[in-house]
Structure 1
Amino acid sequence: MQNYQYFFTQNDYKFGKKIKDFFQKDADRIKLTNVFRVTTNNEFDGIRLSRLEDVLDSRHQPLVLNNKFFYILLVTRSSFHSPWAEKAKQIIVSCGFPTDVQIEKMMLLDFSLHKSLYSRFIKNQKLIVDRMTMLSMTNHSNIQNYFRKIQKPIRNIKMHEIPLLKLDVFNKSSGLALNEEEISYLKNIFKTLKRNPTDIELMMFSQINSEHCRHKIFNSIMIDSENKEKTSLFSLIKSTHQNNKSDIISAYKDNCSIVKSYNEEILITKNKKYLNKKESSAYIIKAETHNHPTAISPFEGAATGSGGEIRDEGATGIGSIPKVGFSGYTLSNLSIKGDIKTWEQEEQKKSDRIKSSLEIILDAPIGAASYNNEFGRPNIFGYFRTFEHLISKSASTNEYYGYHKPIMIAGGIGQIRSIHTEKQKLNDGDCIIVLGGSSYLIGLGGGAASSLSSGSSSENLDFASVQRDNPEIERRCQEVINHCIYLGSNNPILSIHDVGAGGLSNAVPEIVNDSNMGAEIYLENVPLAEKSMSPLEIWCNESQERYVLVLKDKDLPAFSDICSRENCPFSKIGHVKKKKQLIVFDKKNKKVINMPMKSLLGKPPIPTVNIERFEKKYTKNKTKFKSFIESTKMVLELPAVSDKSFLITIGDRSVSGLVARDQLVGQFQTPVANAAATFTSLGSKSGQVMSIGERPSLAISSPEASVEISLGELITNIASCNIGKLSNIKLSANWMASSNDNNELNKLYYGVRKLTDLCKELDIAIPVGKDSLSMNSTWKTNKKNNIVKSPMSLVLSGFSNINNIEDIMTPEIIEHGRIFLIDISNGKNRLGGSAYYQTHNIICSNVPRLDNLDNVKKFFKLIQTLIKNKIISSYHDKSDGGLITTLAEMGFATNCSLVINKNSHLYKNDDSLRSFFFNEELGAIVVVPKSKIDSFSDIVKLMKLDNMIYDLGFTKNQSIPSITINSQKNITIPLHILRKSWSKLSYEIQKIRDNSKLAQDDYKSKINIHKSNIKIKNKIKIQKIKKVFKSRKPSIAILREQGINGHKEMADAFMKAGFNSFDVHTNDKTINYSKFDGLVACGGFSYGDVLGAGRGWAKKILFDDRIRISLEKFFNDTKKFALGVCNGCQMLSQIRDIIPGSELWPEFIQNDSNQFEARLVRVKIKKNNSVFLHKMSGSILPLIVSHGEGKVRYSNKKNKDAAIMNYVDNSNEVTSKYPYNPNGSKNGATAFTNLDGRITIMMPHPERLFYLNQFSYKPSDWMTSPWENFFMSAREWVK
């Protein structure tokens, strides 16, 4: 225990969302105080305490409780050892405090004399407090004792031997999930070794050999007597790679699959100078699920799921770089109170140990988005689906299909240099390194827990198995990896693995076993956040943000220098050994593990599986159908169909500058994109595209149909991109099933076999994938068993190279014309499995199929030809919701009308009308301009596809856009009526999750979008780099701090404008800023923004005399200029005392929406003298924002007109209205400059729109990006 502790308090007027929502108006009667406890072995004098007050923005004072009042203290479970505390400590230490300092943040709720409110809190704690992360203390003595830090008794942290006779008991009590064959295998091993196993050896073995890690079912021999086959599921999947190895560098043997890419310039640093190096590169692909943790703790589960997949993308080969990602969610019904749908129950029944589907969709996407945002990887695609259906009810059991155990999938694309694609052979004596965060007592047994059904382990084990997230330290790790990568052939990394399921106990054996070697490990060298951890806990915990690397001993000094610069901790924990034995020593140098590698990573027996034909189990309901218009509205409100904006605008989709196409389409930013795309490198025309296909509910009737339509959906999505050949598509196949149900296991087999056959026929390879085969949740209520199991579920993600990123079609109708349906099904209108039937609670066996594979090939070739020859002005696949949804989404994206002609041969009556417009057979809609009709017809005739093409009607502009269907009874539905239904779910979620008033404003803006009159004013004369500029390149410091992630696109923009860009870290002690002509502080999350956005970075500068004096000299030099963007803007605004002429600058606080906002907004540039913006005055332009704290707060109301850039609405008026103004700043203020115009700060990101093809929407007459001028103006200013 440390000798001194100091308390600091901070009044907090913004309650946590759950507390405020629970107490509503009564929340004003509760006083909330943030309490910081700082402990140290050093006594602090008044000067230091005053400095801490400044850093923490709080008051130092003893905490005294009134004995008559009622209090509740909320503390984090890990107190000083939370990610927040780790980052806050780093800020404090960087401000000149000793390294032994510790900090903890608590929240004190003061109910005063309001006993009734206090009692309500106590009674409803489970609704208010997240038990996964928080503890609540509810009486004076407990609170006072906690403040005094009375120590708990020291735990017994010794290793234990487990007698062989008690293996079964230990297996169950510790949740090891070992089967009988594995227990027998273990007993034989230790009988041979002539000793009992230790607890740590058993836990390690269970993690390495868990279903989650070893994929035992996919490796099992499946005996299919009907088809006379004997094979494994994994063998089937692998055979697709054997069938087509084209461009695949690596499959099934690394953290990701590696695929050849293009020869393009990549941006690297050499001697801290940025430069472009042209070379061959490759892209990497991966997708994996994190279902169990997301069910238990949605935010942390989805966050660490995203983080783990990102680490995979960084730990491929001998180091790689994550680029773009996607995420998806499949859940049971939401049952939103006050908005219960006809297909839902009033209240979802579930186990108390898991979260409801509504809770998951409120929290999990925020977790995933927050992780991606803070790390700096744009999440640019995804899906969301709900499904729940009663199978049977009896006196003893209720059985449902559903997703109480959800699917949470994360995936993406990364980049790797061709020289780094192979892990190196390890040698005796090589150093084993742990890079990243410390070990916490969390995530124990996660690999095994994910292999169990929800409800089959104890509640404590469920909670222990969930990890915690700290994306900022993963960003630091990635920067270390990046700088190793930049060294090219001198990269010191020999091999690298991420630390995931099983912790070090899985990662270390794997990395040495790849080279057929052993290892000696010393647990005393493993960094610990909690010192009283047992050997088992140290070795097996799944603390995130860690990597295991192997280096040569001689390379350690250089590697250490890189880590030191990035503030990234690492530790040498052992050595590679030639002897194939894993030996692990505890802190007292005692062997706690001593096992032959062949025993640990050998092949315990896997039982064979006998395959039988599956049964179809479901109930059939009698339903009265609604009218066509009402049915359309219901379909549009189904989550799989509806507006997904609430999942999208929370995520930074522009960081890195490498995003060519995200989810939002057109000037109205409608979330309807068919696919996503990333550039190969900054400024390149080539890139990669990705999309998703999944249709799990069809598997209830036919697993083959589910697989066929999932693959078909992916193909019809990715066909919108001109990728050339079907064989260019590479797939990740992620399988989910309830494997303890033989019927579902049989369906899995038939599904895998069908996908294998399809892919071979289409010449598509599946080089990567994962499975999660414990997809069921069980619990008891009143002695009644409840079972919710998922249907066999396949999520396919597809990836491909694309030569020209501009050859991508979207649902936005660029030019009016004829509407054509391209129907792959040859006129079959099967409604089984459709959104239309789901909203009426109907399960039907007459489901869509991929009856003719040649039609798919012809379809794909046709679309590629049409795009290549620029025949079509719009493309949208027909998928969830059917044709009516496809047409509506095209209308939403364009704000225009679609008129469907009378087609009596297609729909003769009401039933056939519904079948035609609601079926979800494979196909697509294209719009062909009048001038291209003949060319379109010629291509169709040449390819003999007339039987697949239907001329449906035409598009046109109208003051009130609508969809008109001419039939026996003509139907006209205004688009704003349909939009009201389509965007309702997004509104309902945002209303609960964010600011309810602003959610309503956003909803209204979508419904009334037809009233918009958007005009862009580009009053810019295009500048080109003059010859004199090319001959002399001024230098600019690209300034960053730990957690900054927007530096590379900034460096590139200045380089293209004629500057030499230099990588400068605040840790660079010897840097003289005066040697640079300019300086830019970049965007990101410095120190994770734990004490306020940019605040920690600013305080580090102000309390370090060397940095402060150097920067102050730079800012006062009239020949120098500076820029701060986003986090850099927030930081510079807080050091304005050393910036001349910045007295009118504001500070930046939390957005009014209480949410991270990532949008393409429009800004108006006022007349100004800014080095960057003076030539752009009067322009109204699109610009990217990505921030959580962008609202301006002035110290003086007189400063309110100081802004030089403001957000505008759809009428080009300066606005404070959401969502046009994403943060609530008065008059839309978002950029400022100092008095002489040399130093400019702004929240939006011009560096992410330097290239024209970085815009998700742009006017057709633009030849270059107007934001190129922003940087050119700075170059012109430097003489």
Structure 2
Amino acid sequence: MADAREPLDIAPGITVMDALKRVLRLPSICSKRFLTSKVDRTFTDLTGGACAIGEQPIKGLLDPKAMARLAVGEALTNLVWAKVTSLSDVKASGNWMYAAKLDGEGAAMYDAANALSDAMIKLGIAIDGGKDSLSMAAHAGGELGDDGVLLHIDLSAGKRRLGGSALAQVFDQIGNDCPDLEDVPYLKRVFEGVQGLLDDELISAGHDVSDGGLLVCALEMAFAGNCGINLDLTSHRKSLFQTLFSEELGLVIEVSKKNLDMVMGKLSSGGISAEIIGQVTATPSIELMVDGVTHLKESTSFVRDMWEETSFQLEKLQRLASCVDLEKEGLKDRHEPSWKLSFTPSFTDEKYMTTTSKPKVAVIREEGSNGDREMAAAFYAAGFEPWDITMSDLLNGAVSLHEFRGVVFVGGFSYADVLDSAKGPQVGGVLGGGGDPSQPRFIHNESGRFECRFTSVKIKDSPAIMLKGMEGSTLGVWAAHDIVMMMGLRRNFTLSNLNGSPLGVAAICSPDGRHLAMMPHPERCFLMWQFPWYPKQWDVEKKGPSPWLQMFQNAREWCSRNG
């Protein structure tokens, strides 16, 4: 590797596409798809804690003080998109991963700690001692549309330093000119200004400029929105690569054309400068101009495939390769789901919510259960009286199921979240199949690992009482499991086959319709704000009931009709 103090040297013939092919495949830049679907990531409330990470280890090779300031800046420009009560309520924790016993590294860590402390004091943010890992030495050889305007809020006063950047790294260099955060009070002003725009619902989308630089930031926004962008940048007398790949701190926000003047006015009144750098297009293509010269014109899917490639390679080390290939192919034709509802969701009838004699439902949990609170909340919202019942309660006779109108077994992992930690029970007995080996049973997902995704399902005709009136609907639901039901009695709805179940079966029921077994988790999305996305044309309110509440309301109606 080149000496850390040598200027960055990119060969004259290297084009923007040449550089992108390398930068977008870097693990720190590429798609994190290989991480996002392997853990639970559903939510239970409108408010909570927002977390963000800032880390700039390569910059530390050039300037430990700048690295510390940049790490703070990166964390805050990641966090700014979540509306927080106040910047002063942000609390930081440090993890000092330094090879402090090597010559010079102890002093470098001291300098970094002092720089971090100074920045935190100016921001009004507290930081604890955090975790130390001081033996780390190693030796190695917005919304889719065409009316969105993109604004760049620069936090570096026009500097475009390339030291320690992803661009330098992919060309086996480090560089000599390290980005930095020289104006900490301005960062604070920008943070508060953007939070104000969020309050006024004036931001359609936003992203921080950090790993990869301004171009990568804009591309990732296009990938997330499955749309196109026209970037028209001015170099301000900087080089092409400085303009596109410098990792100086900044933000890119998308605002509607009709709100552009208002947003620019609000930013200006707050002492914040913003530059228009392009617009969003409904046509899925990427066009890049710098100083009037076109440097890139490709389909969004072509560029996104480069960004996804490393993730898919990593996924093949964790999942069945054929499943990875299917997902990769599916991305090429990805479009928004065409969901439709055969009914209109509504809150539970007030008479069921106010009565003093609500039917009791037992929510059974065991060691490792993780869906009991969401399930209890869903039944409560439908007018039931949910009870938290453990298997120990039943075994020692403290509670009898005879006093309950319904019994629910929730999801989870018995004895640790690992494959084969506890074999899934046979479900045929519950659904009327007895000991027949041809009846439903649990096996592992075809992919070979736990999957958590918001997937599409279609509800079909069936005798299931909980699905009455929902037939014909297509909609989204959370799936989170590493086992799948095999075989089927009566299919209720099917889903895109992420788990390998026959014909994509997602639920089965008994012939009388009173017993329902399903793999997805409607209890995790019985309110609309628990949907990560839904069609604009749906007649629903974001804080209102989702279609899945109907399942639980159907059970309540059945209890009312049957004494």
Asked whether the two chains share a fold, i.e. TM above 0.5, the reply is yes
State the one-letter code of the partner of 1:743: G
- Paired residue for 1:270? none
2:176 pairs with 1:845? yes
CA distance in 1, matches of 2:39, 2:27: 19
Q: Aligned partner of 1:1206: which letter?
A: T
Deviation at 1:1243, TM superposition (A): 0.3
Structure 1 residues 899 and 921: CA distance shift in structure 2, 3 A: same
- Does the CA contact (< 8 Å) of 1:1165 and 1:1180 recur in 2? yes
Instruction: Work out the CA distance in 1 between the residues paired with 2:79 and 2:58.
Output: 22
Give ranges in structure 2 of 5+ residues lacking alignment: none
Partner residue in 2 for 1:973: 298
Aligned to 1:1173: 467
Specify the alignment match of 1:628 in structure 2.
16
Query: Which of 453, 461, 467 in structure 2 is aligned with 1:1159?
Result: 453
The answer for the alignment partner of 1:1003 in structure 2 is 328
Measure, in 1, the Cα distance between the counterparts of 2:359 and 2:462. 24
Per-residue Cα deviation, 1:12-71 (whole angstroms, up to 9, x for no partner): xxxxxxxxxxxxxxxxxxxxxxxxxxxxxxxxxxxxxxxxxxxxxxxxxxxxxxxxxxxx
Residues 812 and 651 (structure 1), Cα distance of their counterparts in 2 relative to 1, 3 Å cut: farther
2:117 equivalent in structure 1: 756
Q: Find out whether 1:1251 has 2:527 as its counterpart.
A: yes
The within-5 A match list for 1:826-865 is: 826-865=157-196
Paired residues of 1:818 and 1:953 also in contact (CA < 8 A) = yes
Q: What is the CA–CA distance in structure 2 between the aligned matches of 1:653 and 1:631, rounded to whole Å?
A: 34
Work out whether residues 814 and 873 of structure 1, in 8 Å CA contact, stay in contact via their aligned partners in 2. no
Q: Is the 8 A contact 1:816 1:956 kept in 2?
A: yes
Cα 1:814–1:1240 change in 2 (3 A) is farther
CA distance in 2, matches of 1:1092, 1:716: 41
SS in 2 for 1:1278: helix
> Rg: which structure is higher?
1
Q: What's the offset of the Cα at 1:1041?
A: 2.1
- 1:621, CA displacement in angstroms? 7.8
Preserved contact between residue 650 and residue 1155 of structure 1 (Cα < 8 Å): yes
Aligned equivalent of 1:1233, options 497, 500, 509: 509
CA distance in 2, matches of 1:622, 1:653: 42
TM-aligned CA deviation for residue 622 of structure 1: 5.4
**Residue 58 of structure 2 is aligned with which of 682, 697, 707?**
697
Tell me by how many angstroms 1:930 deviates. Answer: 1.6
Aligned-pair CA distance for 1:743: 0.6
Determine the structure 2 residue equivalent to 1:219.
none
What does residue 1222 of structure 1 align with?
Answer: 498
Structure 1 residues 964 and 1222 mapped into 2: Cα distance closer, same or farther (>3 Å)? Answer: same
Contact 1:632 1:884 in 2 (8 A): no
- Structure 1: distance between partners of 2:405 and 2:129: 48
What secondary structure, in the 3-state scheme, does the structure 1 residue paired with 2:84 have?
coil
- One-letter amino acid matched to 1:874: A
- Distance in 2 (CA, whole Å) between partners of 1:1163 and 1:766 is 45
Q: Is the 8 A contact 2:5 2:175 kept in 1?
A: no
Cα separation, 2, equivalents of 1:875 and 1:937: 15
1:1083 corresponds to which residue? 411
Distance 1:968 1:1090 in 2: 53
Contact 2:431 2:516 in 1 (8 A): no
SS in 2 for 1:751: helix
Q: What is the deviation of 1:892?
A: 0.8
Contact 1:888 1:963 (8 Å CA) reproduced? no
> Distance between the aligned counterparts of 1:961 and 1:1227, measured in 2?
35
Distance 1:1134 1:747, change over 3 A: farther
Q: CA deviation at 1:968?
A: 2.1
Equivalent residue for 1:313?
none
Q: What is the alpha-carbon distance in structure 2 between the residues aligned to residue 1143 and residue 1027 of structure 1?
A: 45
Structure 2: distance between partners of 1:1023 and 1:1157 = 30
Verify: 1:953 aligned to 2:278, yes or no: yes
Matched, 1:1271 2:552: yes
Distance in 1 of aligned mates of 2:166 and 2:66: 16
Matches of 1:1227 and 1:1138, distance apart in 2: 21
- Name 1:541's counterpart in structure 2: none
User: CA shift at 1:1022, angstroms?
Assistant: 2.4
2:307 is the counterpart of 1:982: yes
Specify the alignment match of 2:235 in structure 1. Answer: 906
User: 2:275, 2:401 → 1: CA distance?
Assistant: 66
CA RMSD of aligned residues (A): 2.5
Q: Which residue of 2 aligns with 1:1205?
A: 493
What whole-Å deviation, never above 9, does each CA across 1:493-512 have from its counterpart, x for those lacking one? xxxxxxxxxxxxxxxxxxxx
Partner of 2:153: 822
Contact 2:445–2:482, Cα closer than 8 Å, also in 1:
yes
C-alpha distance 1005-933 of structure 1, shift in aligned 2 (>3 A)? same
Counterpart mapping for 1:710-789 below 5 A: 710-777=71-138, 787-788=139-140
Q: 1:421-460 alignment to 2 at 5 Å?
A: none
Residues of 1 paired with 2:118 and 2:279: CA distance? 39
Q: Deviations over 1:1095-1134 (max 9, x none)?
A: 4xxxxxxxxxxxxxxxxxxxxxxxxxxxxxxxxxx53615
When structure 1 is superposed on structure 2, of 718-727 and 860-869 the one drifting more is 718-727
Distance 1:1057 1:815, change over 3 A: farther
Q: Does 2:262 match 1:935?
A: yes
Which residue identity does 2:559 align to in structure 1? V
1:63-102 alpha-carbon deviations (Å, 9 max, x no partner): xxxxxxxxxxxxxxxxxxxxxxxxxxxxxxxxxxxxxxxx
Alpha-carbon distance in structure 2 between the residues aligned to 1:825 and 1:895: 30
Tell me, yes or no, if the aligned pair for 1:812 and 1:890 is still in contact at 8 Å: no
Q: How far is the alpha carbon of 1:1039 from its aligned partner?
A: 1.0
Preserved CA contact (<8 Å) 1:1057 1:1272: yes
Change (3 A) 1:1185 1:390: farther
**CA contact 2:83–2:199 (8 Å) conserved in 1:** yes
Q: CA deviation at 1:1148?
A: 2.2
> Is 1:691–1:714's contact at 8 Å kept on the other side of the alignment?
yes
Please state if 1:1193 is matched with 2:486.
Answer: yes
Aligned position for 1:452: none
Contact 2:451 2:479 in 1 (8 A): yes
Deviation at 1:1086, TM superposition (A): 2.6
CA 1:1089/1:833 → structure 2, altered by over 3 Å: closer, same or farther? closer
Residue of structure 1 in register with 2:215 after alignment: 884
Which residue of structure 2 aligns with residue 652 of structure 1?
40
Q: Answer yes or no: is the 8 Å Cα contact 1:1152–1:1223 preserved in 2.
A: yes
The 2-side partners of 1:815 and 1:1137 are apart by 51
* Contact 2:264-2:274 within 8 A present in 1 as well: no
2:15 counterpart of 1:638: no
Runs of 5+ consecutive residues of structure 1 not aligned to the other structure:
1-388, 392-616, 659-678, 680-684, 778-786, 790-810, 1096-1129, 1208-1219
Q: Which residue of 1 aligns with 2:378?
A: 1053
| CA positional deviation for 1:687 | 2.1
Q: C-alpha separation between the residues in 1 aligned to 2:300 and 2:119?
A: 38
| Counterpart amino acid of residue 637 in structure 1 | R
Displacement after TM superposition at 1:623 (Å): 4.8
Aligned residue number for residue 875 of structure 1: 206
- The 8 Å contact of residues 1036 and 1076 in structure 1, kept in 2 or not, is answered as yes
Mapped to 2, the partners of 1:896 and 1:1077 lie a distance apart of 49
CA change 1:1145–1:1273 in 2 (3 A) is farther
Q: Does the 8 A contact of 1:1162 with 1:1181 survive in 2?
A: yes
SS for the counterpart of 2:38 is coil
Question: Secondary structure of the residue that 1:850 maps to in structure 2?
Answer: coil
- Compute the displacement of 1:971 (Å): 2.4
Q: Which residue identity is paired with 1:962?
A: I
CA distance in 2, matches of 1:768, 1:1018: 52
1:171-182 mapped onto 2 (5 Å cutoff) = none
Question: Structure 1-normalised TM-score?
Answer: 0.41
- Report deviation, 1:1258: 2.9
* Counterpart mapping for 1:398-409 below 5 A: none
Give the direction of change, closer, same or farther, for the CA distance of 1:884–1:735 in structure 2 (3 Å limit): same
